[in-house]
């Protein structure tokens, strides 16, 4: 991988069959993913595990990486054993994707939210973001995707107070703040059907390539 380039691989899943994908890509899945799939014989979680495994497997092969061994750090984030590439997976609705690069990455996809409850707004949005959302100047799923991608970059996950996180846009790029201190940079990716994805890193490279995969 070119050190100046990070890649986001995306796939649309509505027309995919998880069992066909499992037959094609299952041999490349990690032992941990296969165990999790085996515990879920026929539910939504199984489908999502297979979709994410397939996009990760194809993306790694495109990068020339055959490894399917992972290690897990204290924050439970997976890392490829004996590899210098970092990745982060996300799945929402009809899209699944993985971001890859030479340093820690955070990545998240969010489908449109048609009915945003008051309690959800209070949990996710700052006062300024609530105003922008109420004025239809920004979508709820964009804000959510940016904050989720940062939580996955930092490894804080659900322990992170999303109201401590805010962001601003500079052209097509985003600057992400925690408690008003700049913490990361990234970009929002507009997808069909009003889906939003967010990619973030500590230092944004010159190139972030978006690649749509045919699984």
The pTM assigned to this predicted structure is: 0.93
Residue 167 domain boundaries: 5-212
Query: What is the token pair recorded at 33?
Result: 């993913």
Check residue 3 and give its pLDDT: 45
Report the alpha-carbon distance of residue 20 to residue 39 in Å, rounded. Answer: 19
Q: What is the pLDDT of residues 140-173, one digit of tens each?
A: 999 999 999 999 998 887 778 999 999 998 877 9
Q: What is the pLDDT of residues 69-78, one digit of tens each?
A: 888 876 677 8
Query: Residue 173: which CATH number?
Result: 3.90.470.20
Closest CA to 142 of 194, 185, 201: 194
Closest CA to 163 of 107, 121, 116, 105: 121
Report the alpha-carbon distance of residue 186 to residue 99 in Å, rounded. Answer: 12
- Count up the domains in the chain and report the number: 1
Q: What is the pLDDT of residues 121-134, one digit of tens each?
A: 999 999 999 999 99
Report the alpha-carbon distance of residue 51 to residue 55 in Å, rounded. Answer: 6
Which one has a higher pLDDT value, 9 or 169? 9
Answer whether residue 12 shows pLDDT above 90: yes
Q: What is the pLDDT of residues 17-56, one digit of tens each?
A: 999 999 999 999 998 999 999 998 888 999 999 999 999 9
Check residue 1 and give its pLDDT: 54
Residue 204, classed as helix, strand or coil, is coil
């Amino acid at each position: 991988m070119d050190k100046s380039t990070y890649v986001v691989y995306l796939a649309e899943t509505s027309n995919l069959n998880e069992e066909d994908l499992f037959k094609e890509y299952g041999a490349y899945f990690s032992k941990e993913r296969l165990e999790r799939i085996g515990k879920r014989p026929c539910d939504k979680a199984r489908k999502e595990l297979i979709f994410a495994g397939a996009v990760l497997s194809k993306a790694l092969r495109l990068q020339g990486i055959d490894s399917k061994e992972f290690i897990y750090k204290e924050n439970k984030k997976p890392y490829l054993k004996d590899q210098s590439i970092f990745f982060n997976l996300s799945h929402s609705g009809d899209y699944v994707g993985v971001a890859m690069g030479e340093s820690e990455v955070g990545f998240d996809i969010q489908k449109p939210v048609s009915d945003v409850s008051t309690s959800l707004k209070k949990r996710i949005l700052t006062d300024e973001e609530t105003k922008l959302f109420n004025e239809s100047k920004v979508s709820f799923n964009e804000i959510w995707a940016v904050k989720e991608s940062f939580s996955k970059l930092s490894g804080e996950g659900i322990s992170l107070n999303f109201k401590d996180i805010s962001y601003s846009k500079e052209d097509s790029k985003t600057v992400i703040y925690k408690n008003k201190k700049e913490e990361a940079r990234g970009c929002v990716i507009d997808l069909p059907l009003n889906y939003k994805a967010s990619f973030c890193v500590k230092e944004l490279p010159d190139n972030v390539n978006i690649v749509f995969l045919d699984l």
